[in-house]
Amino acid sequence: MSNPPDFVTGETEGPELPEREAAPAEGAGTAEARRRVHELWMAGTEAPGEAGGFTSEGAQEMLAEEEGAVLAGQMGTLVGDDYSSPVGPAGEDTQIINMGPQHPSTHGVLRLQLELEGETIRRAKPIIGYLHTGMEKTAEALTFAQGCTNVTRMDYLSPFFEELCFSLATERLLGIQVPPRAQAIRVMMTELNRVASHLIWVATQGMDVGALSMMLYGWRERELCLRFFEKVTGLRMNHNYIRPGGVAADLPDGWEDDLAEILEKVPAGIADYEGLLDDNPIFRERTVGVGVISADECRAYGVTGPILRATGVAWDLRRAFPYSGIEQYRFEVPIGQGGDTYDRYKVRMEEMRQSLSIVTQVAESLPPGDYRSDDRKVTPPPRARLDQSMEALIHHFKLFTEGFKVPAGEVYQAVESPRGELGMYLVSRGEAKPWRLHVRGPSFANVQALPVMLADSLIADTVATLASVDPLLGDVDR
Residue ranges binding other proteins (CB under 8 A)? 54-55, 57-60, 63, 68-70, 72-79, 128-129, 132, 134, 136-138, 141, 172-173, 296-297, 299-303, 313, 315, 320-321, 409-412, 414, 421, 423, 425, 427, 435-436, 438, 440, 444-445, 447-449, 477-478
* Cα separation values, 78 from 75, 254, 294, Å: 9, 53, 12
Nearer of residues 217 and 331 to other proteins, judged by Cβ: 331
DSSP, collapsed to helix, strand or coil, labels residue 216 as: helix
Nearer of residues 65 and 370 to other proteins, judged by Cβ: 65
Nearer of residues 90 and 313 to other proteins, judged by Cβ: 313
Nearer of residues 82 and 264 to other proteins, judged by Cβ: 82
Nearest approach in angstroms of CB 42 to other proteins is 12
Work out whether strand 409-417 and strand 246-247 pair parallel, antiparallel, or are unpaired.
unpaired
Nearer of residues 74 and 85 to other proteins, judged by Cβ: 74
Nearest approach in angstroms of CB 472 to other proteins is 15
3-state per-residue secondary structure call for 303-334: CCCHHHHCCCCCCCHHHHCCCCCHHHCCCCCC
Nearest approach in angstroms of CB 63 to other proteins is 7
d(CA 288, CA 280): 11
Q: Determine the Cα angle at 91 with ends 85 and 93, to 5°.
A: 95
Nearest approach in angstroms of CB 414 to other proteins is 8
Nearest approach in angstroms of CB 188 to other proteins is 25
Nearer of residues 284 and 440 to other proteins, judged by Cβ: 440
* Cα separation values, 153 from 23, 44, 67, 77, 163, Å: 59, 42, 38, 35, 9
Nearest approach in angstroms of CB 327 to other proteins is 12
Nearest approach in angstroms of CB 135 to other proteins is 11
**Closest of 377, 374, 376 to residue 407, by C-alpha:** 377
d(CA 294, CA 284): 20
3-state per-residue secondary structure call for 174-205: HCCCCCHHHHHHHHHHHHHHHHHHHHHHHHHH
Nearer of residues 296 and 370 to other proteins, judged by Cβ: 296
